[in-house]
Structure 1
Amino acid sequence: MTGTLSFHTINGDKQAFLPLIYEADPDPAMVGRYLDRGTLFVAYCGNEPACAAVVVHISPEECELKALATEERFRRRGIASAMIRHLAETFQGRYASILVGTAEPGVPFYEKSGFVRFRTLKGFFVENYPEPVYDGGFLCRDMICLRKTL
């Protein structure tokens, strides 16, 4: 990693981070459903945005990580894992748990970060996205829902 990693809550122009958010969720309509009501966090490596996460309030007990994406040149450096730790620290005491939904390729990352599977939404990506969604060449069909106790 080059430079210092710092985390910022973005209260202003969230639209500036759309290209990065679309790396995690490629459907502008889907992103539009949660971006404005969510809290956007950006990890900067030096002065460059390296990773973005959007978290929304679900209930007094739960929040949900709707998008987590790292710029390609910053991947495999632990930045997304650091973002998960930052989110856990930020929301500990405010929520009992944080949820995330991902396709099968994302499950090992989240499990390594302390998330546990609790549900599978069969056909979610096929039924809710206008175009096929791929993750590293894998055609996404089912959404795996995971929970991390805070």
Structure 2
Amino acid sequence: MNIRPARPGEKLPASLLLLADPDWSQVEKYVDKSSWTVAEENGNLIGVCGLMPLDQASAEIMNLAVDPDWQGRGLGKRLIASALEQAQGQGYQKVIVRTGNSSLNQLGLYQKCGFRMVRIERDYFVNNYPEPIFENGIPCRDQIVLELMLRME
């Protein structure tokens, strides 16, 4: 398995992108504004992670997704580590990530990678997504914002 930057013009599979964000109209808002890291196995993309600039000092991880057949093998951690390395190399001081209150595995993963919860945006998913989202038997209503301060060299 290989983790690498996406090639210029490389098409990212909608099936992967929709795993992390079920509303394509939301994905379209950031897909071309983000630089992407991909995980590849035998020529097939099995994971993606976007990094979108927010301002001169901060960037946001967008749409971390791993093919279900490859989940639980540390691939998400490796994609995050690659995105953080990229962010640091570009001089960002802070990286944020947003996820749903019902995204229990993702919340655990981000915290294992050093992210800290900084705020809750109540009813974000209720107000911004056309269809209700349920994960782990929990309605996804609120957006949890986490951040990680990068060490400057």
Letter in 2 for 1:64: E
Quick check: 2:37–2:48 contact (8 Å CA) kept in 1? Answer: yes
- Distance in 2 (alpha carbons) for counterparts of 1:109 and 1:92: 20
Q: Are 2:15 and 1:19 aligned?
A: yes
- In the TM superposition, residue 134 of structure 1 has moved relative to its aligned partner by 2.5
**Structure-2 change in CA distance of 1:44 and 1:140 (3 Å):** same
Quick check: 1:11–1:40 contact (8 Å CA) kept in 2? Answer: no
Quick check: 2:37–2:82 contact (8 Å CA) kept in 1? Answer: no
User: What runs of 5+ residues in structure 2 fail to find an aligned partner?
Assistant: none
**What's the Cα RMSD here?**
1.4
- In the TM superposition, residue 58 of structure 1 has moved relative to its aligned partner by 0.2
Match 2:98 to one of 92, 98, 101? 101
> Which segments of structure 1 move beyond 4 Å, counting only runs of 4 or more?
none
User: What runs of 5+ residues in structure 1 fail to find an aligned partner?
Assistant: none
2:28 alignment partner in structure 1: 32
Q: C-alpha deviations, 1:49-93, integer Å up to 9, x for none?
A: 121112211000100112111001000000000011111111114
Match 2:46 to one of 46, 50, 58? 50
- In the TM superposition, residue 140 of structure 1 has moved relative to its aligned partner by 0.6
1:137 alignment partner in structure 2: 137
TM-score, normalized by length of structure 2? 0.88
Q: Are 2:6 and 1:9 aligned?
A: yes
- Distance in 2 (alpha carbons) for counterparts of 1:83 and 1:13: 17
- In the TM superposition, residue 9 of structure 1 has moved relative to its aligned partner by 2.1
Kindly, what percent of the aligned residue pairs are identical?
29
Letter in 2 for 1:95: Y
Count residues in correspondence.
146
- In the TM superposition, residue 8 of structure 1 has moved relative to its aligned partner by 2.6
2:84 alignment partner in structure 1: 88
SS at match of 1:77: coil
- In the TM superposition, residue 143 of structure 1 has moved relative to its aligned partner by 0.4
- Distance in 2 (alpha carbons) for counterparts of 1:88 and 1:127: 30
TM-score, normalized by length of structure 1? 0.90
2:63 alignment partner in structure 1: 67
Q: C-alpha deviations, 1:16-48, integer Å up to 9, x for none?
A: 422100100010111111111111221113432
- Distance in 2 (alpha carbons) for counterparts of 1:60 and 1:75: 33
- Distance in 1 (alpha carbons) for counterparts of 2:74 and 2:65: 12
1:123 alignment partner in structure 2: 123
- Distance in 1 (alpha carbons) for counterparts of 2:26 and 2:129: 8
